[in-house]
Structure 1
Amino acid sequence: MATLNDIQLLRTTYLRGPSVWTYRPVLEVWLDLGELEDYPSNKIPGFNERLTAWLPDLIEHTCGVGERGGFIQRLEGGTWMGHVLEHIVIELLNLAGMPAEFGQTREISQRGVYRMVFRCPEESVARTALYWGHKLIMAAINDQPFDRKPAIQAIKTAINDRYLGPSTGCIVDAAGERRIPHIRLNDGNLVQLGYGAAQRRIWTAESDQTSAIAEGIAQDKDFTKRLLAACGVPVPEGQIVTSPEEAWEVAQDIGFPVTVKPSDGNHARGVTLDLSAEDDIKAAFALAQPEGSDVIVEKFINGTEHRLLVVGGKVVAACRGETVSVTGNGKSTLSELVAVVNQDPRRGPEQEYPLDWINLEAPAVKLELKRQNVTPASVPAQGESILLQRNGNMAIDCTDEVHPDVAYYATLAAKIVGLDIAGMDMILQDVSKPMKGQGAILEVNAGPGLLMHLKPTSGAPRPVGQAIVEHLFPTTEEGTGSGRIPIVGIAGTRENAFIARLVGWLLQLSGKLTGVASEQGMFLNNRQTQRSNTANWAGAHRLLTNRLAQAAVIETTARSILEEGLAYDRCLVGVVTDMDGFETLKDHDVHEQEQMTRVMRTQIDVVLDEGAGVLNADIEQVADLARLCDGEVLLYSLHADNAHIAKHREDHAEGRAVFVKNNQVILATGAQERVLGTLDALSLPGGRKPDTSALLAAIAAAWSMDIAPDLIGAGIKTFEYNVA
């Protein structure tokens, strides 16, 4: 069969929030199959066999069939290459360690052109997966060789470069389980949990409650020890030294054995334990000096190293360390024995592995070997044990064994230093017995790593992410903290800037410092802070990261939904005013008014269960969105006899609506009606008459948030609306 031309990737768009496809970020790809439109999967000799040989786990894809092997059935029956590419990309992501389940492929009005999407929380990872998926499918089509290993490795590299570290990631995941939204603030691990004034920030395992003073104290190990000792916390005797010779002198004064370590290092780097010989102590000084600003010599305490995690004044997890050694067989060199140890699946160079590879060239390991008079080339005798590492192997969970007295001293030390989240390094002979006389606190760590508690080599993983989220967003008698502020999303084209500004003003009068992102700019506390159009993802994003905003009103457009997605995951109130503008969206394959429903429903799809959808009942297509709203529905109309409002009031005893009757604005709840005021009375300062339909939309949105009608009426009359 002749070589077939490549599938053309016409354009790729990363939708960073809820969109016409799904609630989560996706990469949307426009594909032109060209001549491959005439070659579904069952018409290319050997294609299915090559594809399933490279990706055998495609058998697990249920596809639209709904059962294991569903996608294979589609392949054998004949499916188009856009659909196949979707499943290839998803499978490559799965193989790279990032579960990806959602994907869709839809043909557009132009023959052979498809829109294919797949879910991926990071854009660079999505684009890397697409690149390799495209190469794989073309190799399968044209019977060319393909090695999937470089593809998977490239995607893994992109994941490691872009994804949150394990500590931050577990906190974000725990927040997601509580439906607390998050925003990544940089390319690293600085993450905002929640929106606006309700937000909290984390950076690895540090929070915005972690003071700089407390962190500074924790970094100075010598000062920390003196502070703890002054408060009665057991700590080992020690002293800062400035030279190898002084280290030896202090060690003699303290008494052997001793520990030599940097004063402000971390991850056990530069720490050497159980030293008595002069040469070893001086060598340990040289090892510790590059890892910190000073070197400490302290009394070595016999016992096992432990790490206790303290969150909000409670011990929530504990791990016990273990030494690392190998046993000789009389045949293999030490290097060969260590190579076997490094094959342990728990060991690896990346953060997801709970244990590091053993590196015989690492200074601390070389020092241990020197103390035992062995080298990597030595052949230990049968049964001879060679110690490789004494510390830094915290991986055995012992949370359930922690004695209350040990927990007391751990939490006390965190309070003394001033940390809300702390990793307590303790030396203990037995964690299940009282602290005094059998242990001491060695270090207090700010921003402790959580991986040891998430993936212990022995024992149960601990829900440390949930503990930190509960600390940041505590459950009270009033309910569970959600990290959310009231968000009003407004979609459409008819006077939406006016609606956004007026709703923002009414929220401001109700006592909430409110931000507004609209086509007229950004407003905070009714003061314009930006003049350019902010009715887009970037504008909304800036508003939601503002710690002053206690409420947010965000205007959006159909084009922004199609090209960016919404900047928020859910909203308290979603307003849809109209379905206009399809004529300008031909580049998105929107050619008819009816197609606007799929776009504008996005605003209603994200309404919270406890929220409300506000819909223009004078437009049939808008009113029909009521069936899609998870929350309450409020309808508004210029006409008292609107059929949609009549049915809404009839079907729902508490169904609310806003409409005009005899030149009066009526607030209706079921059969009950209340007059808000006449249209003449509900005018802006100076007697300016706003667009009536826009006025009703703003009134309905404010009323849906239980702003008192009297305040709504007074607010309209005092609203200074100036178009910049």
Structure 2
Amino acid sequence: MEHAAQPQPDLTIRSTRVYRGPNVWSYHQAIHLVVDLGTLEDFPTDRLPGFTDRLLELLPGLVEHTCSVGERGGFVQRMRKGTWLGHVAEHVMLQLQQEAGHDLRRGKTRSVKGERGRYNIVIGYLDETVGLAASRLAVRLVNELVSPTDGFDWQQKLDEFLLTAQRTAFGPSTHAILEEAVSRGIPWQRLNRGSLIQLGQGVHAKRFRATMTSLTGALAVDIAGDKDLTNSLLGSAGLPVPESELVRTEEGAVEAARRIGHPVVLKPLDGNHGRGVCLDLRDDDAVREAYAVARGESRRGYVQVESFITGKDYRCLIIGGKMQAIAERVPAHVVGDGVSTVAELVDLTNADPRRGVGHEKVLTRIKVDEAAVELVAAQGFSMDSVPPAGEPVKLALTANMSTGGISIDRTFEAHEDNVDIAEEAAQLVGLDVAGIDFICPDITQPVRDTGGAICEVNAAPGFRMHTHPTIGEPQFIAKPVIDLLFPPGAPSRVPIVAVTGTNGKTTTSRMISHIFKGMGTKVGMTSTDGIIIDERLVKKADASGPRSARMVLQNPRVELAVMEVARGGVLREGLGYDRNDVAVVTNVASDHLGMRGIETLADLAAVKRVVVEAVPRDGHAVLNADDEHVRAMRRHCSGAIIWFTTSEPGSSVHQMVLDHCRRGGRALLLEETERGEMIVVRHGSRTMQLAFTHLLPSTFGGAARMNVANAMAAAGAAIALGAPLRDVRQGLRTFTTNYYLSPGRMNLMSVLGAEVVVDYCHNAAGMRMLGDFAARYGDRKSAETNRRVQRIAMIATAGDRRDEDLRELGETAARYFDTIVVREDGNLRGRPAGESAELVAQGCRDAIAAGAAVTTTLEIVTDEVEAVRRSLKLADRGDLVVLCVDRHAVVMDELERYTQAATPRGYNDQDDRPVADADFTA
């Protein structure tokens, strides 16, 4: 290939995927990008003069990156020696997130197999929006350093990125609570674009927004929001409160102020963050002017007039009825240096990197408005005045952090009487988390003696004045909040069972759910049929992906989650949770190959393996020992392994499982007894009988070998979760494959005297299992009736499978069935009508030509309902008809019509529908 003569700004993002849980690239949530270097593939960093120095000038934090060298400056060493720009982009993406305050160090860059110049970049993220924005900006920056363009202002672009990060970031209070939850291993989900957070899962879930929690009573919030009512309640309990009156007119405010006595305070009845509060009003004119301000911030139009208490402003934080922190709040101000004007001092103060807009940072920028200018003038200055060195100049009367104030930690200085008063105030209002505002000369002295009072009780108080005080030690107040929601020893997680595999995962999931349902557990289950909560179908859809998993974990009724995990969901978004207690892998067979980069069985196994990698040390993986790809997954499991196998005694697989048990492990095996085949559980040297396979309804007397394996897998999962053997046994004995318990999976019924099985089989591996069942079941029926039972199958698969997969399905079916009707799905998935059916039929013909088939009749009927009708028409009494369906509900409706209008004479010649006859009942 010809190499480019000059580097061009060719770095582009070809695709982006956001993983919201463990995935094929990482144990954690990650962003995966495929980038194309174009001509830059020929220009590693050592061939780009000045590139490294210019990049370090713009992002000096890259010096801290160790990269594969393992020491500070390692990445810089790699750039100076020469590394490709995909790798550079990865580190820039991580550093940009560091600039936004997201401490992330996880990233990797790998070339795309077989595609020159294309790379997979995988980076960790805390916030999806920030991670994606960092990715785009990193690519833009690398291209600009390769070939600068006019009008590119790096500082402007960086500021825009940081502003995006600040808009989506959690506030200090939310962040503090989340940090504490994560440190305890409590899972969380963001429920909206704001700060509504769920901690825990299912029945153990709690929610909070800012500092309002699931335990915060609505009535308590209403009381705290009504300042007049709050004053009345506290005053009637003997707590010190200012004298106050409620008014709705300007004249009413003036008269109330006269009765109370100047100076007074006016505040909106239901305001917050200090908005509309006017202090130290000493005459009627000041009251009139302040009334308009307070009235403008009142949602209900009421204004409270109360006596002005002199002293310092203290916020007491009460959590769970106990005082946890106290901060002295100092109003926004500047201190003269004898050189700078008041306006310049404000600019210098706002330049503090800790200050931001609103609540986005630990301090808020001071806002110079008309009220601030008037306050400065009242102190004898203007904004252009130069205050003497050391002279403080107030810019706000209220001490709220949201108006630019600062805080000083006083937690361990308060007098015990004041602590008692604050705790009692919170209990009287009924708040689990309350901010009690004291005005008093000194918090170290009893307020009853010094003349102080409680001026306000706040619901959802901010934490930042306590977690990030301007002066003093920070208080770790998130701990008592989490203790309140999750007392020590209280669970936060529900057990999660993840079931994956090419075939059998839906039936296995249903078996597990059925076992625990019988134990009285409320189970949430995801499957290809929908989301089921406590036996109720709450959403009908293919729900085997991560979003459905999150919906189950949000449901407050769920005590156990059983997740069917499909390949597509893992590739699309990863798992919908951070870990699963039990992983079940049924098998890995040829299906979905050639899609989304999955070319081989090893590739497919790597995707299925994600659920095994998500097992914690105290968890379990229930693995099919008969499948070599599943056996290999044991090396990727942090927890214990429980094997299940249907192999014959004496085989190498059987011996491996026995060796595992001798070392203290657990496994499920089959043993022949005088009364029949028995599923046994081995744990170390102990052997416990579980159930005879022929007594399990789902196995059809042992003929359905795939359901024997599925039952063993389900039993292994239940045992891993601590279910008693008697309950596991009872669950398997009562689980049937009728349409109501297992729709579309081995549903057996009698139609027009023929045995009809409805199943979802759609790949060659599944067809081998289904064909084996048909052979065993048909032979048994032949022996019972002394007549050979004809085996008829309606088959199809999805059009997005490879041509060879479609042909293999036909070849496999032809080895087991006498008559085959080939149909097509309603969704052709990109193929022309009739093409997929013809490929399946060609596979059947190839098998017939090779002499490896039993098929004597082959037809193509592309419409599913018409194919059902044709299959039934080809059947005689006692024959076995296997219908591999796409829309099981539609097919079952059609079969129901036949059973309601059965006849021994056959069919109406006009439309192939049965003619009713009272002499015959199906």
Answer yes or no: is the 8 Å Cα contact 1:96–1:152 preserved in 2: no
Q: CA-to-partner distance for each residue in 1:152-197, whole Å, 9 max, x for gaps?
A: 2222122122222221121111111111010111111111101111
Query: Displacement, 1:553?
Result: 0.2
Query: Displacement, 1:15?
Result: 0.8
**What is the aligned partner in structure 2 of residue 699 from structure 1?**
715
Answer yes or no: is the 8 Å Cα contact 2:172–2:362 preserved in 1: no
Please identify, of 584-593 and 132-141, the stretch whose mean Cα deviation from structure 2 is larger. 584-593
**What is the aligned partner in structure 2 of residue 131 from structure 1?**
136
Matched residue SS, 1:321: strand
**What is the aligned partner in structure 2 of residue 172 from structure 1?**
178
How high is the sequence identity, in percent, across the aligned residues? 35
Answer yes or no: is the 8 Å Cα contact 1:515–1:552 preserved in 2: yes
Answer yes or no: is the 8 Å Cα contact 1:664–1:676 preserved in 2: yes
**What is the aligned partner in structure 2 of residue 418 from structure 1?**
430
Answer yes or no: is the 8 Å Cα contact 1:95–1:152 preserved in 2: no
Which amino acid is 1:368 matched to?
A: L
1:83 aligns with 2:87: yes
Please identify, of 106-115 and 242-251, the stretch whose mean Cα deviation from structure 2 is larger. 242-251
Answer yes or no: is the 8 Å Cα contact 1:505–1:526 preserved in 2: no
User: Which of 701, 706, 714 is equivalent to 2:730?
Assistant: 714
Larger Rg: 2
User: Which of 150, 153, 170 is equivalent to 2:159?
Assistant: 153
**What is the aligned partner in structure 2 of residue 561 from structure 1?**
570
**What is the aligned partner in structure 1 of residue 50 from structure 2?**
46
Answer yes or no: is the 8 Å Cα contact 2:32–2:123 preserved in 1: yes
Query: Displacement, 1:114?
Result: 1.4
Which amino acid is 1:38 matched to?
A: D
Query: Displacement, 1:206?
Result: 0.3
Q: CA 1:117/1:646 → structure 2, altered by over 3 Å: closer, same or farther? A: same
User: What are structure 1's unaligned runs of at least 5 residues?
Assistant: none
Which amino acid is 1:402 matched to?
A: A
1:470 aligns with 2:483: yes
Q: Output the CA distance in 1 between the equivalents of 2:64 and 2:386.
A: 48
Q: Output the CA distance in 2 between the equivalents of 1:613 and 1:242.
A: 68
Q: Output the CA distance in 2 between the equivalents of 1:89 and 1:459.
A: 35
Q: Output the CA distance in 1 between the equivalents of 2:72 and 2:390.
A: 51
Please identify, of 437-446 and 696-705, the stretch whose mean Cα deviation from structure 2 is larger. 437-446
Q: CA 1:488/1:362 → structure 2, altered by over 3 Å: closer, same or farther? A: farther
Query: Displacement, 1:64?
Result: 1.0
Q: CA-to-partner distance for each residue in 1:428-485, whole Å, 9 max, x for gaps?
A: 222223342332211111111111111100111111222211110010xxx2x34100
Answer yes or no: is the 8 Å Cα contact 2:341–2:387 preserved in 1: yes
**What is the aligned partner in structure 1 of residue 743 from structure 2?**
723
Please identify, of 188-197 and 321-330, the stretch whose mean Cα deviation from structure 2 is larger. 321-330
Query: Displacement, 1:537?
Result: 1.2
Show the 5 A alignment for 1:611-626: 611-626=619-634
Q: Output the CA distance in 1 between the equivalents of 2:593 and 2:479.
A: 44
Matched residue SS, 2:348: helix
Show the 5 A alignment for 1:493-532: 493-532=502-541
Equivalent residue pairs, number: 716
Q: Output the CA distance in 1 between the equivalents of 2:695 and 2:391.
A: 96
Q: Output the CA distance in 2 between the equivalents of 1:650 and 1:281.
A: 87
User: Which of 538, 550, 561 is equivalent to 2:547?
Assistant: 538
Q: Output the CA distance in 2 between the equivalents of 1:442 and 1:710.
A: 63
Answer yes or no: is the 8 Å Cα contact 1:97–1:156 preserved in 2: no
Answer yes or no: is the 8 Å Cα contact 2:332–2:406 preserved in 1: no
Q: CA-to-partner distance for each residue in 1:254-306, whole Å, 9 max, x for gaps?
A: 12322221111111111122222332222222221111131111111222111
Query: Displacement, 1:657?
Result: 0.7
**What is the aligned partner in structure 2 of residue 262 from structure 1?**
268
Q: CA 1:360/1:143 → structure 2, altered by over 3 Å: closer, same or farther? A: closer
Q: CA-to-partner distance for each residue in 1:308-348, whole Å, 9 max, x for gaps?
A: 11111111111111244445677754433433343344433
Q: CA 1:67/1:597 → structure 2, altered by over 3 Å: closer, same or farther? A: farther
Answer yes or no: is the 8 Å Cα contact 1:109–1:589 preserved in 2: no
Q: Output the CA distance in 2 between the equivalents of 1:417 and 1:202.
A: 19
Answer yes or no: is the 8 Å Cα contact 1:685–1:719 preserved in 2: no
Which amino acid is 2:363 matched to?
A: L
1:281 aligns with 2:287: yes
Query: Displacement, 1:362?
Result: 4.6
User: Which of 358, 377, 396 is equivalent to 2:408?
Assistant: 396
Show the 5 A alignment for 1:566-715: 566-581=575-590, 584-639=592-647, 640-641=649-650, 642-651=654-663, 653=664, 655-662=665-672, 663-684=677-698, 689=704, 691-715=707-731
Query: Displacement, 1:8?
Result: 3.0
Which amino acid is 1:715 matched to?
A: G
Query: Displacement, 1:307?
Result: 0.7
Answer yes or no: is the 8 Å Cα contact 1:319–1:394 preserved in 2: no
Please identify, of 670-679 and 384-393, the stretch whose mean Cα deviation from structure 2 is larger. 384-393
Please identify, of 229-238 and 622-631, the stretch whose mean Cα deviation from structure 2 is larger. 622-631
1:368 aligns with 2:378: no
When the two structures are superposed, what TM-score results if normalisation uses the length of structure 1? 0.94
Matched residue SS, 1:571: coil
**What is the aligned partner in structure 2 of residue 34 from structure 1?**
38
Q: CA 1:602/1:626 → structure 2, altered by over 3 Å: closer, same or farther? A: same
Q: CA 1:402/1:598 → structure 2, altered by over 3 Å: closer, same or farther? A: farther
Which amino acid is 1:566 matched to?
A: L
Q: CA 1:255/1:317 → structure 2, altered by over 3 Å: closer, same or farther? A: same
Answer yes or no: is the 8 Å Cα contact 1:347–1:357 preserved in 2: yes
1:121 aligns with 2:129: no
Q: CA-to-partner distance for each residue in 1:465-524, whole Å, 9 max, x for gaps?
A: 22211110010xxx2x34100111112122100111111111222222101101122212
Please identify, of 193-202 and 276-285, the stretch whose mean Cα deviation from structure 2 is larger. 276-285
Answer yes or no: is the 8 Å Cα contact 2:354–2:362 preserved in 1: yes
**What is the aligned partner in structure 2 of residue 62 from structure 1?**
66
Query: Displacement, 1:350?
Result: 4.1
Which amino acid is 1:544 matched to?
A: L
Q: Which has the higher contact order (CA 8 A, sep 6+)?
A: 1
Q: Output the CA distance in 1 between the equivalents of 2:222 and 2:69.
A: 58
Matched residue SS, 1:389: coil
Query: Displacement, 1:143?
Result: 5.1
Q: CA-to-partner distance for each residue in 1:364-402, whole Å, 9 max, x for gaps?
A: x24534544654345657776543223223511111112
Q: CA 1:54/1:286 → structure 2, altered by over 3 Å: closer, same or farther? A: same
Which amino acid is 1:125 matched to?
A: V
Q: Output the CA distance in 1 between the equivalents of 2:368 and 2:581.
A: 58
Q: CA-to-partner distance for each residue in 1:612-639, whole Å, 9 max, x for gaps?
A: 1111111233123223322222111112
Q: Output the CA distance in 2 between the equivalents of 1:307 and 1:5.
A: 55
Answer yes or no: is the 8 Å Cα contact 1:360–1:376 preserved in 2: no
User: Which of 433, 436, 444 is equivalent to 2:448?
Assistant: 436
Answer yes or no: is the 8 Å Cα contact 2:318–2:324 preserved in 1: yes
Show the 5 A alignment for 1:9-408: 9-112=13-116, 113-142=118-147, 147-292=153-298, 293-326=301-334, 333-363=341-371, 365-369=372-376, 371-372=378-379, 374-377=381-384, 386-391=393-398, 392=400, 393=405, 395-408=407-420
Matched residue SS, 1:676: strand
Q: Output the CA distance in 2 between the equivalents of 1:328 and 1:149.
A: 31
Answer yes or no: is the 8 Å Cα contact 2:172–2:361 preserved in 1: no
When the two structures are superposed, what TM-score results if normalisation uses the length of structure 2? 0.74
Which amino acid is 1:428 matched to?
A: C
Matched residue SS, 1:45: coil
Q: Output the CA distance in 2 between the equivalents of 1:330 and 1:166.
A: 35
